[in-house]
Structure formats: structure tokens, C-alpha cells
Amino acid sequence: MVDKGVEKRFFIGFLLGSEEMEEDIEVGEEASKHRWVVMGEGRGGEEVAECSRKPDVTQFSLSSLPMDLDKEIHLELFSVIRVYKSGRIERLVGTDTVPATIDPGTGVTSKDITIDTSTALSARLYLPNLTDQPSKKLPVLVYYHGGGFCSQSAFSATYSRFINSLVAQSRLLVVSVDYRLAPEHPVPTPHDDSWAALRWVASHSGSDGPEAWLAKNGDFLRVFLAGDSAGANIAHHMALRAGAEGLGPGIRIEGLIFLHPYFWGKEPLGSEPPIPEFRKDQELFWRLVCPGTAKGLDDPLINPLAEGAPGLEGLAGERALVCLAEDELRERGRAYYERLKGSGWRGEVELFESEGEYHVFHLMKPDCHQALLLMERVVEFLKCKDQQS
């Protein structure tokens, strides 16, 4: 049996809940297009539940269901997310948000913008204090938050604290993307939103575009893509798509940062837990957030090393930093690093490992020694060209 304490610790970190808060979410229309495998309360019987939806409605139709189904748990995974038999979604962690502001500790200014009103795709922008170098163009970092595709947001206290610190130390402009979450908006919706956001950023490359902060201050020949956990997964897929499709003239992706990337697969790799129950839960979780998958945990969306996945040599970018912790994703991250290193990719890839720390620890205890070392390495990576010039 899996040690439940270890499992819960990893997945609370994995889905990034610094505080145990609750939020009721109604299942969106996109979920009606899919089926997902779920399990009843506890680890008992499995079943397949089909989402029965009509267009333009915002929750499951309850007219033919007993009202107590809105209180009966159909699926709970890792004490993080619940699906009730009525279709209602409840998030148990990762729902706290803070407003954009001028951070008193760093002088970093942030503001929230809407990228696409039709999907409510939005982002939080961060700008360092420019009083000493008001005219200097800044590298642009597009950041994708973690949370297993189903939790957290760009507006959370966790990410605001982390990015304020990163911006202050690196002196760059950050666009932190707030993509729509599964299971209401199943994978690949988070990836599609993230691509739309990246294209929106690229539209400012000629000192043009709707957002003055980007048009005036951004150096689009120095663009970075980064993310943690599920966000690192998204950053990988954005780099693949940018390499295949391009982002237009005047924009260059310089570097990629993958913090504790969320990759997985059907078969155990290296020291990954071979325990059937643990791996079964991974499959259940993936089918919850990506119910349309045909290949399960060997879907290239979750396993970039699977047979048939796009080759890593096609990634956009010239440098990559893969950061790992002592978690269940470590072997996959190391294998990704080795595959990228040997793929013939034109860029340089580096590996940084944090010993004795668990998944996304730097977000939950940012002042610990290992978190400071990790931040120092990320800042060094981002400022590399500045130091050479």
C-alpha cells in the first residue's frame, strides 16, 4: 500500500494548495463532449459516468436526479478536488487570490488584463521598478502556473509572491497566464488558452499591440517560457508548437524553464512507485482532467517521451533549464532532460536538482535554503545574456 501521508503531501504540493479553502465550481459546457472514469467515495468501486449536457447551460441538469446527489461524492482525489454525483465540482485547495498591486517589499507593480473576453482568458502582468533604467527594454517571461490543470490561478497569493520576487531579482516583464481549468474545461483547453496568450504576447513585438506595458517595455528578442508542474508541461507544449508553427517576425524565444514538470506514463520508470493503487490513481486523475484521451497516460500531452510523441528536437528556444525535486515526477524529469540533451536540439540544456525537498516546495516555503538556491539558479539562467553583454 502507498503511504497515504507521503501521497497526500506530494499531491497537495502537486496541486498547489497553500491554504485549505473551498470553492464550488459548476461544470462547464466543454465537459459535455467527453466521458470520464471516476470512482466512488473512498477507493472502492469504479464506474464510468457520462456527462449529459445541453448547450449553453452551466451545470448538470438535476431535474431527473434526486437532490441528495448534489451532496453525494462521486470522486475525490488526493484531498484536493471532489466531483459530486450531480456533476458539481468542489475545489478544496488552491482557491485563494490577491489583487494586483505595487508590492511593498520589492517595488514590483502588477496589473490584471483580459486577453479574450469570449473565453475570459486573462493574465497578471508584472513590471519591475524602472526608476533607474526607464528606457531599457526588458526580457519577457510568459509564465504558466501549476495545479494539475485543475487548481490554482495566476492571481493566487502563492504565485504573486513567487513572481514578485522573480521579477525583482531578474528585472524582466512577466505575463502570468490564467488559463481555464479542468474538468470544467478539459485538457487540452488549458494548452489552447496558453497558446492564445502566447500569440497575444507575440502581437506586441513591433512595439505595437493593445497592452502598453508590453509594447513599450518588452524586448521580444528575449522571450522566455516557464512554468511549474502542470505549468511546466504547458510550457513544453508551447515550445513545441512555437517551434512547429512560429510566432511571427520580431519575436525570439531565448529560453525555457521547466520547474518540477508534470510528465507521467503507463509503465514505471526508474524509481517511480510501481504500486498498482498509486498508478491507478494517476490514471484516474488524468482521465478526470483529460477525459477525451485515447492513449491514457501515454498520451503525448502527459508523456512527451511516449511512442508517437513529437520529437524534442523541434522545441523553440536556445537554452533550457530543467529543475527537479525529490518527488514522484523526478525520474520523468530526468528522462526528459536526457532525451532533450540527446535529441539533436540546437540549444543547450541544463539540469538543476533540489535534494531533500518535495514537489514545488519553493512555492510553499520560499525562504528555505533550497528554495533560495533554486531561485538563484533561475535568476542566473534568465540573466545569462545580460552578464555576457
How confident is the model over 214-249, as pLDDT tens digits? 999 999 999 999 999 999 999 999 999 999 999 999
Q: Give the start-to-end residue ranges of the domains of the chain.
A: 4-91, 109-388
Contact (Cβ atoms closer than 8 angstroms) between residue 357 and residue 364: no
Q: CA dihedral defined by 127, 176, 165, 341, rounded to 10 degrees?
A: -120
Question: What global pTM score does this model have?
Answer: 0.85
Confidence of residue 60 (pLDDT cuts 50, 70, 90): very low
Contact (Cβ atoms closer than 8 angstroms) between residue 243 and residue 315: yes
Average pLDDT score over residue span 329-354: 98
pLDDT higher than 80, residue 256:
yes
pLDDT higher than 50, residue 182:
yes
Distance (Å, rounded) from C-alpha 81 to C-alpha 16?
Answer: 12
Instruction: Tell me if residue 375 falls in helix, strand or coil.
Output: helix
Instruction: State yes or no: is 229 an active-site residue.
Output: yes
Q: Which amino acid is at 314?
A: G
Query: By percentage, how much of the chain surpasses pLDDT 90?
Result: 69
Cis peptide before 274 (omega within 30 of 0): no
Catalytic residue among 156, 160, 203, 229: 229
Report the pLDDT value the prediction gives residue 76, as an integer from 0 to 100. Answer: 85
Average pLDDT score over residue span 202-224: 95
Report the pLDDT value the prediction gives residue 387, as an integer from 0 to 100. Answer: 55
CATH number of 109-388: 3.40.50.1820
Average pLDDT score over residue span 301-324: 98
pLDDT higher than 80, residue 48:
no
**pLDDT of 130-176, one tens digit each?**
987 777 899 999 999 999 999 999 999 999 999 999 999 999 999 99
Report the pLDDT value the prediction gives residue 67, as an integer from 0 to 100. Answer: 60
